[in-house]
């Protein structure tokens, strides 16, 4: 038999050199210059730094320098710090279960030193002077020498990947690498408002962010990163349930982006890119965000360190939760509760946090008296009715739902109130005209309000349909011809173990063999849907997230279409009473600041803005 070019001898087993071992580790930890900066910033924060200065040259390809005022590294620990798995952050297996520091693996410094020319200069607390160590990327480390440096540490990484050209050629342009570096810098700056950060690139000051300790300062810091428009168009959340706490800023549905560039999620102050958390956020924005648009947010989740595993990946940007369903439900419903209340008259300074301080009262959670834990419960929110609700005051509202109606059969609501006296109770004011059969013009205490008539009414009808569906429960329909599905054994097992869930959402599923099932009953509203594809998608969601919203998404899509067809159309002439009835309904309807597709339903123009248009007072 021919050899085919392969050796028939058993290959020799050998120990790898320390330099090669470090370079292999660097392949996991040091992906690009931004990876180096992340590790160095985390080390500075763990060292108790209150001021961090970052200097970059040529997008980090030539030089990355991080200087801090932390507690420093003692002379006798400098060389030890360059050894693999040497760390001051964990000492036992129990410490690994309760990780409270940003770094802990003890691989970063030797890995970076193996693929660059690195120097460390550090002055430990109480030391007479600093010490400097140099590593040239050849595995040799110099003995520490005395140096001049204030308390703290400076680490300089030069010529990254100079000795591994195969990896260096995969780096992008200087501009692209710098963008990644700036992103890592801003991620850390957002996480630690108590620390001052500075960033220089090619000798030019790019960011200078002062430490802050109050709400105004934190708002200013977030605005410096995401922009003033984000702060003006976002809600602040602060919710707690037992050991779980979430706080931060998240955008109104009408402020969205085409990319995920303004999404920052932190777990115990560690920036993460977690699928479970992103799914929870997306669930909260379901049916209020325009298709293909992305929310913006800076959110912080805090929980006991033993409830989250941060040792999933060497880069530490992935985490694993012990109670993932509880985390998902807590995050999703905390955000959803506040998004539900995006109605006219809701101001940024409203104390929403105190209004919904106890997440246990939020629909979607059921508290266990024995354990104090929370379980996910499918339930929609009920529409609140404030004093003076439209159904009590405007019998003429029914005209909105019919093609004809005598305007004179209803009292003139506009004439019975003065705008300035009713601005708090009626934030949208009172109708004064209709423009091109599309927009309602209204006057309130602030100035002029313009309402998209169809979009606003579509949201009102949509919420009514959802409420009616909830009250009547989910109707099911037996299939005339049952659907047989061939699945993998894992999928069949998933379907069988979640049989109660499928019954709850209107599916009657029977396992036939270890690789096939039959679906006999489906939700009535989905009787014409692609059942096989929908069911497989639900199984996929259950496998990845432990839950699925496919049924709700499909039903909501049908209700949205029904609402669109049942809403007032363009060019429909409304009487003033009907226009006022629409305004009052908007003020009472959840999520009415945006239509079913996430577009805004109304816009406020203040008197001062209008004055500027006409140069009044100038």
Q: What is the CATH number of the domain that holds 78?
A: 3.30.565.10
pLDDT digits (tens, 9 = 90+) for 447-490: 999 999 999 999 999 998 888 777 767 788 999 999 999 999 99
Do residues 454 and 542 share a domain? Answer: yes
> Could you tell me which of 273, 223, 280, 275 has the C-alpha nearest to residue 246?
280
Assess whether pLDDT exceeds 80 at residue 345: no
CB 581, CB 396: distance < 8 Å: yes
Q: Which pair of structure tokens corresponds to residue 237?
A: 């959340």
Residue 12: inside a domain, yes or no? no
Do residues 186 and 235 share a domain? Answer: no
Do residues 387 and 313 share a domain? Answer: no
- Other C-beta atoms closer than 10 Å to the C-beta of 579 total 23
Domain count, the chain: 3
Do residues 569 and 587 share a domain? Answer: yes
Assess whether pLDDT exceeds 80 at residue 595: yes
Do residues 389 and 352 share a domain? Answer: no
Distance CA 37, CA 180 (A): 10
SS3 content of the chain, % helix, strand, coil (to 5): 40, 25, 40
pLDDT band at 208 (very low <50, low <70, confident <90, very high): very high
Residue 7: inside a domain, yes or no? no
Do residues 391 and 466 share a domain? Answer: yes
pLDDT band at 381 (very low <50, low <70, confident <90, very high): very low
Q: What is the mean pLDDT of residues 496-514?
A: 90
Do residues 136 and 265 share a domain? Answer: no
Distance CA 273, CA 267 (A): 10
Report the mean per-residue pLDDT for the chain: 82
Instruction: Pick the last residue of a domain from 366, 396, 430.
Output: 366
Do residues 457 and 569 share a domain? Answer: yes
Residue 118: inside a domain, yes or no? yes
Q: Which residues contact 205 (CB under 8 A, 6 or more apart)?
A: 198, 199
Q: Give me the helices (H) in 31-173, please.
A: 33-46, 75-81, 93-97, 108-114, 165-168
Instruction: Pick the last residue of a domain from 326, 341, 366.
Output: 366
Do residues 416 and 306 share a domain? Answer: no
pLDDT digits (tens, 9 = 90+) for 59-72: 999 999 999 999 99
Residue 28 pLDDT: 63
Identify the DSSP state of 243: T
CB 197, CB 50: distance < 8 Å: no
Which string of DSSP letters, residue by residue, matches 358-406? BGGGSTTEEE-TTT--EEE---PPPPP--TT-HHHH-GGGGGGGSS---
Better-predicted residue by pLDDT, 186 or 524? 186
Residue 11: inside a domain, yes or no? no
pLDDT band at 167 (very low <50, low <70, confident <90, very high): confident
Q: Which residues pair with 309 in a beta bridge?
A: 320
Residue 372: inside a domain, yes or no? no
Q: What is the mean pLDDT of residues 568-580?
A: 88
Residue indicated by tokens 């360059």: 82
Q: What is the CATH number of the domain that holds 334?
A: 3.30.230.10
CB 396, CB 577: distance < 8 Å: yes
Determine if residue 578 is left, alpha or beta; phi over 0 gives left, psi from -120 to 50 gives alpha, anything else beta.
alpha
Percentage of the residues of the chain whose pLDDT score is greater than 70: 79
> Could you tell me which of 410, 409, 453 has the C-alpha nearest to residue 431?
453
Q: Which pair of structure tokens corresponds to residue 605?
A: 């123009």
Instruction: Pick the last residue of a domain from 318, 336, 366.
Output: 366
Residue 90 pLDDT: 59
Q: What is the CATH number of the domain that holds 441?
A: 3.30.1370.100
Assess whether pLDDT exceeds 70 at residue 418: no
Residue 4: inside a domain, yes or no? no
Do residues 473 and 515 share a domain? Answer: yes
> Could you tell me which of 366, 171, 370, 290 has the C-alpha nearest to residue 594?
290
Q: Which residues contact 296 (CB under 8 A, 6 or more apart)?
A: 226, 230, 234, 250, 251, 255, 256, 257, 262, 263
Residue 8: inside a domain, yes or no? no
In Å, what is the CA distance from 461 to each residue of 103, 464, 559? 52, 5, 9
Do residues 438 and 545 share a domain? Answer: yes
- Other C-beta atoms closer than 10 Å to the C-beta of 342 total 17
Three-state SS annotation for 469-524? HHHHCCCEEEEEEEEEEECCHHHHHHHHHCHHHHHHCCCEEEEEECCEEEEEEEEH
CB 458, CB 592: distance < 8 Å: no
Do residues 85 and 114 share a domain? Answer: yes
Identify the DSSP state of 144: P
Q: What is the mean pLDDT of residues 244-264?
A: 94
If you average pLDDT over each of 84-88, 133-137, 306-310, 583-587, which comes out highest? Answer: 583-587
Residue 2: inside a domain, yes or no? no
Domain span including residue 533:
378-618
Residue 378 pLDDT: 31
**φ and ψ at residue 392, rounded to 5 degrees:** -90, -25
Q: Which residues pair with 67 in a beta bridge?
A: 53, 154
State whether the Cα torsion 460-462-465-466 is positive or negative: negative
E-strand ranges in 76-186 read 117-123, 130-135, 145-147, 152-158
């Amino acid at each position: 038999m021919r050899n085919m070019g392969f050796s028939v001898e058993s290959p020799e087993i050998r120990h790898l050199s320390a330099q090669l071992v470090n370079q292999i580790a660097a392949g996991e930890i040091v992906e690009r210059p931004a990876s180096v900066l992340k590790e160095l910033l985390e080390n500075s924060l763990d060292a108790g730094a209150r001021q961090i200065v970052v200097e970059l040259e040529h997008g980090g390809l030539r030089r990355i320098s991080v200087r801090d005022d932390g507690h420093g590294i003692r002379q006798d620990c400098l060389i030890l710090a360059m050894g693999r798995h040497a760390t001051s952050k964990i000492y036992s297996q129990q410490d690994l279960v309760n990780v409270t520091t940003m770094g802990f693996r003890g691989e970063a410094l030797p890995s970076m030193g193996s693929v660059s020319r690195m120097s460390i200069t550090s002055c430990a607390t109480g030391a007479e002077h600093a010490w400097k160590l140099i590593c040239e990327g050849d595995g040799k480390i110099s003995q520490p020498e005395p140096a001049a440096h204030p308390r703290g540490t400076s680490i300089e990484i030069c010529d990254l990947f100079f000795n591994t050209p195969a990896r260096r050629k995969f780096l992008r342009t200087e501009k692209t690498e710098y963008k990644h570096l700036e992103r890592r810098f801003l991620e850390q700056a957002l996480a630690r408002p108590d620390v001052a950060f500075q960033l220089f690139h090619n000798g030019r000051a790019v960011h200078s962010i002062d430490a802050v300790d109050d709400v105004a300062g934190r708002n200013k810091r977030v605005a410096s990163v995401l922009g003033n428009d984000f702060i003006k168009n976002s809600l602040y959340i602060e919710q707690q349930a037992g050991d779980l706490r979430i706080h931060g800023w998240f955008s109104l549905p009408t402020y969205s982006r085409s990319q995920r560039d303004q999404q920052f999620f932190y777990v115990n102050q560690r920036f993460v890119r977690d699928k479970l958390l992103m799914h929870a956020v997306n669930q909260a924005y379901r049916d209020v965000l325009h298709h293909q648009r992305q929310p913006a947010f800076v959110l912080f989740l805090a929980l006991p360190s033993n409830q989250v595993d941060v040792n999933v990946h060497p880069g530490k940007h992935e985490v694993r939760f012990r109670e993932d369903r509880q985390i998902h439900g807590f995050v999703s419903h905390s955000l959803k509760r506040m998004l539900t209340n995006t109605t006219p008259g809701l101001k940024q300074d409203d104390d929403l946090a105190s209004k919904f301080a106890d997440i246990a009262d939020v629909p979607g959670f059921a508290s266990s008296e024995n354990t104090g834990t929370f379980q996910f419960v499918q339930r929609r929110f009920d529409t609140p009715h404030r004093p003076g609700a439209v159904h009590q005051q405007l019998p003429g509202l029914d005209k909105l739902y019919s093609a004809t109606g005598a305007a004179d059969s209803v009292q003139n609501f506009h004439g019975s109130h003065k705008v300035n006296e009713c601005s708090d109770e009626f934030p949208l004011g009172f109708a004064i005209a209709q423009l091109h059969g599309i927009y309602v013009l209204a006057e309130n205490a602030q100035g002029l309000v313009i309402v998209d008539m169809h979009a606003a009414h579509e949201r009102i009808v949509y919420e009514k349909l959802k409420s009616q569906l909830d009250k009547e429960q989910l109707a099911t329909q037996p299939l005339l011809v049952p659907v047989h599905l061939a699945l993998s054994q894992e999928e069949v097992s998933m379907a069988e173990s979640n049989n109660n869930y499928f019954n709850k959402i209107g599916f009657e599923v029977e396992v036939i063999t270890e690789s096939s099932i039959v679906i006999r009953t489906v939700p009535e509203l989905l009787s014409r849907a692609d059942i096989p594809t929908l069911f497989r998608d639900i199984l996929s969601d259950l496998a990845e997230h432990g839950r699925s919203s496919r049924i709700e998404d499909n039903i909501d899509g049908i209700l949205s279409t029904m609402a669109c067809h049942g809403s007032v159309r363009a060019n429909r002439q409304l009487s003033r009473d009907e226009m006022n009835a629409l305004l009052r309904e908007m003020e009472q309807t959840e999520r009415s600041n945006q239509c079913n597709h996430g577009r805004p339903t109304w816009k406020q123009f203040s008197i001062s803005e209008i004055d500027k248009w006409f140069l009044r007072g100038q």
